[in-house]
Amino acid sequence: MQIGNFSIAPGAALAPMAGFTDAACRRMAARHGAVYTISEMVSAKALTFGDKKSARLLRRGEDTPGPYGVQLFGAEPETMGQAAALIADKDFDFYDINMGCPAPKITSSGAGSKLMLDPELAGRIVAAVVQNGAGRPVTVKIRAGWDAQHVTAVEVAKACEAAGAAVIAVHARTREQMYQPGIDLDIIRQVKQAVSVPVLGNGDIVCHEDALAMVEATGCDGLMVGRAALGDPWLFGRIAAALRGEEIPPMPTLTQRMEAMRTQVYELCEEKGDWAAMPQARSQALHYMHGLRGAAGLRRACCALEHFEDLDALIERVYRENPLGE
Ligand SMILES: Cc1cc2nc3c(=O)[nH]c(=O)nc-3n(C[C@H](O)[C@H](O)[C@H](O)COP(=O)(O)O)c2cc1C
């Protein structure tokens, strides 16, 4: 599959997740085989106001392999175009447009999943970013629709493709469904049949079997994985192996998990400083505790992390409570 001039190997991309997919998280995913990564979503309007915090969220981070996209949200084509032009000299490979966020603070401004109600506006937004993007590809992340009465993924995907989108990723739920119940594989299949650009399937992939089942049921060109990759970046390697028909790599050992967590939190602290990094480090660490003995106590210990050094006490406790690995 291609994104513009980038050839993307069979596998899964890391889904953008605000509050989680910082540079350290993306680097960890890319090192373990995420076929590309995307920033946390950033407000186009805030960028045009010169907001430094928003601009910082877009930094690629050193030594991050693989194509990297920056995700913008907004409801006005003009502002989206301005923001695209403003960041065009930064270090990234493609733009991604958020048409899936269900949060009221985003949809109330007409952005995120609210765009699923207006395919024509969605197309104009893509066109504005394409026109101002200095030749970089523009990808789009959509939902199935707004609600059961407005399952608009096919119309929105067609409008985005006509406006120049290079890839469409589909989170197969409506906005009304937020993150429950299960996904609707058929909507991914419909989008795949309706457009000729590559289509990525997204939603509830937690193991390589889910990935294979999604490809089989929908014919999608690639996959995007979010929550299940937190604390388990090795999932990307297992999915890539499954798609290539190769032997599935073994699950990581407890030592590998703890080392990955330590590296990720270390790099997060290097990037942001302890004070800004530790709240995010707590939530990242929680994901690395998945399935361990003594989970309740370990979760409390994660929530109490204040400095990078506290992580070593957490890791010692993990080994103490899980003497045989997991
Ligand atoms: C905490 C969190 C933050 C998210 N932030 C974003 C975001 O910034 N941009 C976006 O397009 N989707 C965002 N999403 C949606 C995910 O990219 C993805 O579509 C969704 O989680 C379903 O995939 P999954 O089941 O593999 O997690 C977020 C999801 C979660 C759970």
All domains of the chain in start order, with CATH: 2-244 (3.20.20.70), 254-321 (1.10.1200)
Q: Active-site residue among 101, 160, 220, 302?
A: 101
Ligand 1 neighbours (beta carbon < 6 A): 15-20, 40-41, 71, 98, 100-101, 141, 171, 202-205, 225-228
The band of 66, judged by pLDDT with boundaries at 50, 70 and 90, is confident
> Closest ligand 1 atom, CA of 227?
27
Instruction: Tell me what pLDDT residue 105 has.
Output: 97
Q: Does residue 207 have a pLDDT over 90?
A: yes
Question: In terms of DSSP H, where are the helices of 142-273?
Answer: 153-162, 185-194, 208-218, 235-244, 254-272
Instruction: Give the residue from 114, 88, 2, 99 showing the smallest Cα distance to 41.
Output: 99
Percent of the chain surpassing pLDDT 90: 96
Cα 89 to Cα 51, 85, 98, 134, 188, distances in angstroms? 16, 8, 21, 9, 34
Average pLDDT rounded to a whole number, residues 219-246: 98
Q: Does residue 308 have a pLDDT over 80?
A: yes
Closest C-alpha residue for ligand 1 atom 30: 17
Cα 207 to Cα 61, 124, 223, 241, 311, distances in angstroms? 28, 37, 12, 12, 28
Average pLDDT rounded to a whole number, residues 53-75: 94
Average pLDDT rounded to a whole number, residues 111-126: 98
The band of 65, judged by pLDDT with boundaries at 50, 70 and 90, is confident
| Average per-residue pLDDT for the chain | 97
Instruction: Tell me what pLDDT residue 122 has.
Output: 98
| Structure confidence by residue, pLDDT tens digits, 155-195 | 999 999 999 999 999 999 999 999 998 999 999 999 999 99
Q: From ligand 1's centre to the CA of 97, what distance in Å?
A: 13
Question: Which DSSP helix (H) or strand (E) runs through 105?
Answer: helix 104-107
Instruction: Tell me what pLDDT residue 148 has.
Output: 97
User: Other C-beta atoms within 10 Å of 121: how many?
Assistant: 17
Instruction: Tell me what pLDDT residue 325 has.
Output: 77
| Structure confidence by residue, pLDDT tens digits, 21-61 | 999 999 999 999 999 999 999 999 999 999 999 999 999 99
Average pLDDT rounded to a whole number, residues 280-290: 97
Q: Peptide bond preceding 181: is omega within 30 degrees of 0, i.e. cis?
A: yes
Rounded to the nearest 10°, the torsion over CA 123, 127, 133, 139 is: 30
Q: Does residue 282 have a pLDDT over 70?
A: yes
Instruction: State how far the Cα of 227 lies from the Cα of 298, in Å rounded to an integer.
Output: 20
Q: From ligand 1's centre to the CA of 225, what distance in Å?
A: 9
Q: Does residue 80 have a pLDDT over 80?
A: yes
Q: Does residue 224 have a pLDDT over 80?
A: yes
Q: Does residue 326 have a pLDDT over 70?
A: no
Q: From ligand 1's centre to the CA of 262, what distance in Å?
A: 24
Instruction: State how far the Cα of 93 lies from the Cα of 86, in Å rounded to an integer.
Output: 15
DSSP 280-311: HHHHHHHHHTTT-TTHHHHHHHHHT--STTHH
The length of the chain in residues reads 326
Q: Estimate the crossing angle of helix 23-31 against helix 254-272, to 10 degrees.
A: 140
- What letter does residue 203 receive in the DSSP assignment? S
Tokens of 321: 């409570």
> Closest ligand 1 atom, CA of 171?
19
Instruction: Give the residue from 294, 266, 64 showing the smallest Cα distance to 285.
Output: 266
Question: Which DSSP helix (H) or strand (E) runs through 143?
Answer: strand 138-145
Backbone φ/ψ region at 99: left (φ over 0), alpha (ψ -120 to 50), beta: alpha
Instruction: Give the residue from 292, 284, 303, 186 showing the smallest Cα distance to 227.
Output: 284
Instruction: Tell me what pLDDT residue 61 has.
Output: 92
Instruction: Tell me what pLDDT residue 134 has.
Output: 96
Q: From ligand 1's centre to the CA of 217, what distance in Å?
A: 22
220 is an active site residue: no
Closest C-alpha residue for ligand 1 atom 29: 17
